[in-house]
Structure 1
Amino acid sequence: MEEQKPDIPLVQWFPGHMTKARRLIEENLKLVDIVVELLDARIPLSSSNPMLAGMISGKTHAIVLNKADLADPAITREWITFYKRMGKSAMAVDSVQGKNIKELTNMINDLTQRQTAKFAAKGARPRNARAMIVGIPNVGKSSLINRLAGTVAAKTENRPGVTRAKQWIRIGKHIDLLDMPGLLWPKFDDPAVGINLAFTGAVNDDIYDKEKVALLLLEYMQNYYPHFLMTRYKIDVLPDSTEELFEVIGKKRGCLLKGGKLDEEKITTVVFTDFRSGRLGKISLESPSV
């Protein structure tokens, strides 16, 4: 593993309930026909749990890119093509607006039809398809399930680690969905993974240097989406340095303390909030071509 670069803060977060979540997933895999892995469309690689492949070996596996409304649509299409070339069933959804929710239900039904048909062929009473939905914290599992169920079936909150136990939820007439707690893995071997998870709010904001991570996010934006920065913060010419940009945003947003000193904590909050809410624009942090 490469040595940690001094300018990239190390982000690690594996609270105690994650071990329980892993056991819960392993214990209940035998009950389901398909595992639906929910990824963040902005960071499909970083939001994919490397432990999952071994855990779900032999199970039908579908990939769903959630929060597609926040990601660069051209890059999201590249990701869908990438997964399909790997032989995976994949699609993008927006659980907030409900985009592609019906198509997701159809995909689950199609992928589990062979499994549920086995029961009828043996003379048993036909049963619903059983799907397990898994993903990292704050990837939007509860919001997606509520869309699928058409009701407030799962608790939603914009912070990681809210769902702590399993829940069975009826989806339409033919699918029973097993919701699992968000699951991370014990160590992020690539520092960039931890940074991406911090950008998107998948890890607790209190465990890392928020200002340093906000500066890294602004640096990425300067390199790949400068026009979004200029539009959002009404900047005619971007400064050369990220530190200067940070200060300009603070002044533009009135993030000042007594005496005119910049409120760095408030600026950091503005940057994170604007990115995570999509106010900065549709931004992807990872591409399958890189």
Structure 2
Amino acid sequence: MALHWFPGHMHKALKEIKESLSDVDVLIEVLDARIPYSSENPEIARIRGDKPALKILNKFDLADPDLVAEWQAHLESERGVRTITTSTDNPGNAKHIASIVKDMFPQKAGPGKAIHAMITGIPNVGKSTLINILADRTIAKTGNEPAVTKMQQRINLGNGIILFDTPGVLWPKQENPNSIYRLAASGAVKNTAMEFDDVGFYAADYLIKAYPEEMKARFKLNELPDTEIEFLEAAARTRGAIMAGGRVNLHKICEILLTELQAGKLGRITLETPAMLEKEKIEMAEAAAKKAADKAKRKEKFKQGSATPERQDRKERRNEKREEQSKRMKKQNRQRQR
């Protein structure tokens, strides 16, 4: 699946983030606890360098708690990174974000000093709700669809922290094809930017393998089919996603599956693991190496012309004739000189 959703305001916001990042002390990145890797903006990671970072795994109430713990250990293995879990429907841990940030900069404690923090996150990750909790008042506009915040704003939290809020941004090029599906499945992009069937098949394939009991219970199935298409067909029958003539409405059952996944009705589910990430990184490196090799091969072919034997022979004959002509010209020049 190709993802074509990078509105103009996102391009502008990403540029402003790059320009402002050097002026802040710490980067606060809000991640989706169900997809900590896929919801991490690689553009931000590239320009962050060694700047301290607090990664908030939000929507923890929707994610698999055991896998979230694995992700926290994985993320904190990077120097200068701290993590915390939060849930948009429960302020709980969000109240501790300010104290964690202050602990990271003890030298900036006291009157007249302020910690400058930038908060970022992909669309629909719950960043605006967290900001309102931190500020203890409504500052950022919230909504249940992507791209609500459109421009950068500076917020004085009144506790020694100056917060730079940024619009939710994706990135123009998705390097990991699996991440495209996970972003779409989690609701990070608008419905109009994705194919329900495409994403639904991907989600179904993962869910019947990673969470078989949850799928059986939710869709009232006695046995779980082996393939995603068989699962979707069985689920469609229990949910009435049937068209005239008894045909299965795959689009409708995929829409049902994704809607319930995003709402947490399928259970606490995480769509990726650190082990999956390591495997996919190897696959991406191999794909990049193959692409580079193919490009070099095409470049070499372009230099040599067509690689067909017939044309190669003609090229060699032309070179031979040029050499013979060159020898004759040299011989004639020597004779004239005598």
Q: TM-score, normalised by structure 1?
A: 0.87
The 1:130/1:240 distance shift into structure 2, 3 A limit, reads same
Tell me which of the two structures has the higher relative contact order, counting C-alpha pairs closer than 8 angstroms and 6 or more residues apart. 1
Matched, 1:96 2:89: yes
Q: In 2, are the aligned partners of 1:113 and 1:129 still within 8 Å (CA)? A: no
Shift of 1:181: 0.4
- Give the greater-gyration-radius structure (CA): 2
- Quote the RMSD (CA, aligned, Å): 2.0
Q: In 2, are the aligned partners of 1:12 and 1:187 still within 8 Å (CA)? A: no
Shift of 1:280: 0.2
Instruction: Measure, in 2, the Cα distance between the counterparts of 1:15 and 1:21.
Output: 10
Q: TM-score, normalised by structure 2?
A: 0.76
Matched, 1:39 2:39: no
Equivalent residue runs for 1:160-171 within 5 Å: 160-171=146-157
Instruction: Measure, in 1, the Cα distance between the counterparts of 2:24 and 2:39.
Output: 22
The 1:260/1:153 distance shift into structure 2, 3 A limit, reads farther
Unaligned runs of 5+ in 2: 277-338
The 1:168/1:267 distance shift into structure 2, 3 A limit, reads same
Shift of 1:172: 5.1
Instruction: Letter of the 1:103 partner, please give it.
Output: H
Instruction: Measure, in 1, the Cα distance between the counterparts of 2:168 and 2:253.
Output: 29
Matched, 1:105 2:101: no
Q: In 2, are the aligned partners of 1:12 and 1:188 still within 8 Å (CA)? A: no
Secondary structure at 2:3 match in 1: coil
Secondary structure at 1:281 match in 2: coil
Of 73, 76, 94 in structure 2, the residue corresponding to residue 81 of structure 1 is 73
Equivalent residue for 2:56? 64
Aligned length: 275
Report percent identity of matched pairs: 39
Q: Which has the higher helix share?
A: 2
Q: In 1, are the aligned partners of 2:95 and 2:133 still within 8 Å (CA)? A: no
Unaligned runs of 5+ in 1: 1-8
Instruction: Letter of the 2:229 partner, please give it.
Output: E
Secondary structure at 1:100 match in 2: helix
Equivalent residue for 2:6? 14
Instruction: Measure, in 2, the Cα distance between the counterparts of 1:171 and 1:264.
Output: 48
Instruction: Measure, in 1, the Cα distance between the counterparts of 2:156 and 2:237.
Output: 50
Q: In 2, are the aligned partners of 1:12 and 1:194 still within 8 Å (CA)? A: no
Instruction: Measure, in 2, the Cα distance between the counterparts of 1:143 and 1:260.
Output: 44
